[in-house]
Copies of this chain bind each other. A is one copy, B any other.
Amino acid sequence: MGRWEPNARGRLGRAAMELYVERGFDQTTVAEIAEQAGLTKRTFFRHYADKRDVLFAGMAPLREVVVRAVAEAPASLPPFAVVSLGLEAAAEMIQERPEDVKMRQAVIDAHLELQERELVKLAALAADIAAALRGRGLDAWPARLVAEAGMAAFRVAFARWIANSAEGLLTQVVRESMEELEATVTGG
């Protein structure tokens, strides 16, 4: 038993999510989050960079999974197929907890400032993918191009999956989105 209750970060994160869902993101102050977690405002900012960071702290493992999938994809695969593989791996991870994901997304979709943060995080993910592609020998600009285009397809697939609960597995929607992109860009 420590002087402090264990898992301060986890308590803060849970308290924040509860309040964000209950009363909305901007009707929640950091002081309230900290109080609910039995801590102080200052301590909140020691665990999370800012109020929005709570919603996006879980993306780190996602990045690892995607980058590994891209790096370990068969050398014979064309770049776009490699990106597709990586993003399907992400989809697999995401769809493990559909309810949590959808609740989180509802909070994000209700606040522009959270969508801003979401977009930079996804852009960072695209940059990671591009770096992994460069590691496979692809030139910098083509790598970035195919990574960003893949992320675009992924974003649309994710939105579609969120919007339509009967949509099935996210991996499947992502794969379809990739194929549809290929078809429509080719001249469909």
Binding site for B on A (CB under 8 A): 78-81, 112, 115-117, 119-120, 123, 141-142, 144-146, 148-149, 151-153, 155-156, 159-160, 177, 180-182, 184-188
Contacts and interface: CB of A to CB of B under 8 A. Distances in A.
A151 B123 CA distance: 13
A186 B181 CA distance: 9
Give the oligomeric copy count.
2
Contacts of A181: 145-146, 149, 185
B119 A184 contact: no
Contacts of A153: 145, 148-149
- Is the contact region of chain A dominated by helix, strand, or loop, or is it mixed? helix
Contacts of A123: 115, 119
A126 B146 CA distance: 18
Contact of A177 (B145, B152, B188): B145
Given A115-B120, A146-B181, A152-B152, 5 more contacts: A78-B184, A112-B120, A116-B119, A119-B119, A149-B181
Nearest to A184: B146
A123 B181 CA distance: 18
B116 A144 contact: no
Contacts of A159: 144
A181 B143 CA distance: 10
A145 B149 contact: no
A144 B120 contact: no
A155 B145 CA distance: 9
Nearest to A182: B185
Contacts of A117: 116
